[in-house]
Structure 1
Amino acid sequence: MSYDDFPLSLDSNATSQHPTFAISALQADGRARVFLLGAHRSGKSSIEKVVFHKMSPHETLFLESTRSIGVTDINSNPLVNLQILDFPGGYAFQGVDRVNSLRSCSAMVLVVDATNGSQAAQDVKYLVGCIEVAHRVNPKISFEILIHKVDGDAFPLEEHKLEAQRNTRARIDSELREANIQNVHISYHLTSIYDHTIFEAFSKIYHKMLPQFAFLENLLDSLITNSSIEKAFLFDVISKIYICTDSNPVDMQTYELCSDMIDVVVDISCIYGVPSGVVPANAGKGSEKLATDCAFDSASTSTIKLSNGHVLVLREVGKYLALVCLMREKSFDKAALVEFNINCFKTALSHLCEGMAQG
């Protein structure tokens, strides 16, 4: 199948529901753009709502099908500046729309419903069609496949999830060979909105779009080495995406623990720490809602001692940026040294953000 033969939609009646996208909105302003695509009812809009709008996963059951392109700007702090475009299910690019919009795309996130076995072949054909069109127009696009809804009774064991990934990958590889599409790098992620996997997947996707990632990773490596920290994450508090971590492998349990600590700190701050109507000193224009919903400011700090002999440390290091570290309680005996090194990290991060704002 060539991209010229690519269907307008999986639903032939959906063309009238897909208004022409405003190309003028996609200016070359340097920000990263994520195109979110998938077949009808694949769960892509639920993903966008849960990750970037803090919607409860259970509330997404009442979402209507996406009928027009939704645009969400994410700019809670200097290190997170991206735009999410949520396309209607089965959307396809064509003509000027295809050429102009795809040239501004940084990553194409393609969602596959892992529970939709009867439509799996058709869904894969649609995704491969998207990849073919996008790769021809913009070879620099990063392609990310989310094998979604791997939760519940259908996937009780990890091996069932891995089997779903192998099967999906095999189908996509077969379609790519048949379409003679070469030199396309595709990453695969097993995700669910009911656990941390969707946040981890978007974290890894964003790492590829962040030019400062290597610099931040070196900063965190230096911090953990000089402070006897086992693992450190730099989080965007609003979305709970981790912007960067040190170069040590990420253990899912450690990531979940650090991510949950943000919820603990924010929830307690909402109850006890922030008077109603007060806007934090680090809040920018239009941040009143963030101040109420997030309750995170320059004074946000927390230390939690765990029963297994470890300590969780959270410190505010920038506008809606949180450094969360896991270390042994024995290492935290040198708390003054740890605090000094964290302040050095915060200063370096501040200089980086100032340079990004000026540049």
Structure 2
Amino acid sequence: MARAPRSTAKKPRLRALPGRDAAVSAPPLPEEATASLAYAQGVLEAEARAILGLRLGESFLRALALLRGCQGQVVVTGMGKAGLIGQKLSATLASTGIRSVFLHPAEAVHGDLGRVSRGDVILALSNSGATEELLRLLPSFRRLGTPVIALTGEPESALARGADVVLGMGRIEEACPMGLVPTASTAALHALGDALAMTLMRSRSFGTEEYALLHPGGKIGRSVQRVFEVMRTGSANPVVRESARLSDAVGVMTKTPGRPGATSVVDKAGRLVGIFTDGDLRRLVEEGRTDFTLPIREVMGRRPRCVTPETLVLTAAAQMREARVDQLPVVDAEGRAVGLLDVQDLLAARFL
């Protein structure tokens, strides 16, 4: 078979992004870019209007009362995009100490309804209020005696009629060229769920300590951790009496597990009076003061910076950076040295 003649037409030159091998099309014309930015801005404004247009009243307070009195778990359910918003709402509730589970309506009619029991409260999300999979669950919820709170854009819908409390958003114009893709309505649904969750959290005694217990990892966990969770204690906390010799202090620093580069110096009552560090030892050597029989009180650093066990680790880390020190003694309310915060531990926990 004869080959087709090779085309002599030049291909359009494609411009590559800096630092990347992949070729991309040339940027849009200025008028196209302007139109795109204007349309995108309109999407943001449409979603903002949908959220700001929500009005809360007596039904919101009734929903809060049901959630506060929930003896079981909050079961969040919804299909499609509303279901995805529901999954996030359930996760938010769980992260703030409210027992919650997401129930997929399609799976519920095939056995997952067993996740629901008397004492639970249902949060049902549907913009149309006509989601077939959700409506099929209403008779089962009634038989189980679980109250239903409906979050919907249609307060006269079948879902609203079957619910105990209705949080109606009203009809919302979608931010979409066809007016069909859930955009502004899901933004409003998301915001309404957050309003419920955060108001419920505010009404309970749920503070940073409880939040930290549920968020041990990542940036959030680090932001609420306290010094007592990471400080060195017991045999790992180097301490010498102020009457000890320099050699004793160096021995304690060397033999303490983890080899911290410092030791706290305390009085008879165990109260912190000073600190001695590797840096102090190097300076003594540089000055020719190598008499290791010297009392540690004569060469220790006095009035050292210190923190309490309840200090936020982020606050302590900031103090260490500001003072350019690698260790901070930890003292209790009576000024007793109860721990040591070491820079190596903060680096390992990604605080520095």
Shared fold, TM over 0.5:
no
The two structures have a TM-score, normalised by structure 1, of 0.31
Higher relative contact order (CA 8 A, sep 6+): 1
Larger Rg: 2
The structure with more strand, counted as a fraction of residues: 1
The two structures have a TM-score, normalised by structure 2, of 0.31
